[in-house]
């Protein structure tokens, strides 16, 4: 730990170190249930355009987050590789765009091949905001029109929402409590999306670790909507209304 801290102090923000961190991040951190291309968010939290302390990043990357999808890298990466990733993530703080794709898709493949949105202008703006990768967005929890992750309740076909999709309060044997959405059930484990993180982090527990799951009717989206203006939220609502009407046809 001390060795890594000294390395951080000695070579902060060197371009070659950041470039090395970029390569390691692309190989290990941007794929699967992770942080997305250039930190723009995958199913793990967005890193692009956010500010973190070096000590925090060092601890999380080195030791991971217990009972979550964030692994410890101390036994997988060398100290200078961890330092490089820390510096690279620090360098993303000033980014204001979604980030360029590391491996652009060929013509006719992927999102570029999808038909253009044919809804009204306000709904089009809401659709873009719904999955805006430069901030915490609705698609991190909700799936609409083929975009997003199917974690939270169905926002278009409200009648299809089930009790398992209601926000609950999870209480652990350790005394920790957090707002949670249950993930797919397992006979041996309890899998919960921790809503105190944005986007939610999938955490896995032995059944004996979870004391209770209780309804949480007072839970609000404030932590997830604070980056949006009232006008932008109206645009998102317009998109959801449009999607609801078109899905019923």
For 181-222, give the DSSP string.
EE-S--SSEEEEEETTSSS-EEEEEEGGGEEEEEE-TT--SH
Residue ranges of the chain that CATH labels 2.30.30.100: 120-249
Q: Is 138 or 164 the better-scoring residue by pLDDT?
A: 138
Strongest mean pLDDT among 75-79, 105-109, 166-170, 216-220: 166-170
Contact 92, 47 (CB under 8 A): yes
Contact 88, 95 (CB under 8 A): no
Question: What is the three-class DSSP state of 98?
Answer: coil
pLDDT digit string, tens, across residues 190-247: 888 888 766 677 788 888 999 999 988 877 777 677 778 899 999 999 999 998 888 7
All residues at 6 or more sequence positions from 161 whose CB lies less than 8 Å from its CB, including other chains:
153, 154
Q: Concatenated DSSP letters for 139-174?
A: GGT-EETTEE-TTS--SS-GGG--GGGS-EEEEETT
**Which CATH architecture is the domain 120-249 placed in?**
Roll (2.30)
Q: Which two tokens stand for residue 131?
A: 């999955």
CA count, 13 A, side-chain hemisphere, 189? 10
The fold of the 2-94 domain, in CATH, is Cytochrome Bc1 Complex; Chain D, domain 2 (1.10.760)
To the question of pTM greater than 0.75 for the whole model, the response is: no
């Amino acid at each position: 730990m001390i060795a890594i801290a000294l390395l951080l102090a000695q070579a902060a923000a060197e371009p070659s170190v950041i470039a090395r961190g970029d390569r390691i991040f692309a190989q290990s951190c941007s794929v699967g249930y992770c942080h997305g291309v250039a930190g723009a968010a995958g199913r793990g939290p967005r890193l692009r355009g956010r500010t973190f302390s070096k000590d925090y990043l060092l601890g999380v990357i080195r030791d991971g987050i217990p009972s979550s999808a964030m692994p410890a890298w101390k036994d997988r990466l060398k100290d200078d590789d961890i330092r490089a990733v820390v510096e690279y993530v620090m360098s993303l703080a000033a980014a204001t765009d979604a980030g360029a794709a590391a491996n652009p898709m060929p013509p006719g493949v992927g999102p570029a091949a999808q038909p253009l949105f044919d809804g009204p202008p306000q709904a089009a703006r809401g659709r873009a905001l719904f999955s805006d990768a430069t901030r915490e967005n609705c698609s991190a929890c909700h799936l609409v029109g083929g975009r997003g992750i199917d974690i939270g309740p169905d926002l278009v076909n409200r009648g299809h929402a089930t009790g398992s999709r209601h926000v609950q309060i999870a209480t652990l044997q350790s005394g920790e409590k957090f707002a949670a959405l249950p993930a797919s059930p397992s006979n041996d484990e309890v899998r919960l999306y921790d809503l105190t993180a944005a986007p939610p982090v999938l955490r896995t527990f032995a059944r004996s670790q979870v004391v209770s799951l209780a309804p949480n009717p007072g839970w609000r989206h404030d932590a997830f909507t604070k980056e949006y203006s009232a006008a932008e939220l109206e645009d998102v609502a317009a998109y959801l209304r449009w999607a609801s009407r078109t899905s019923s046809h």
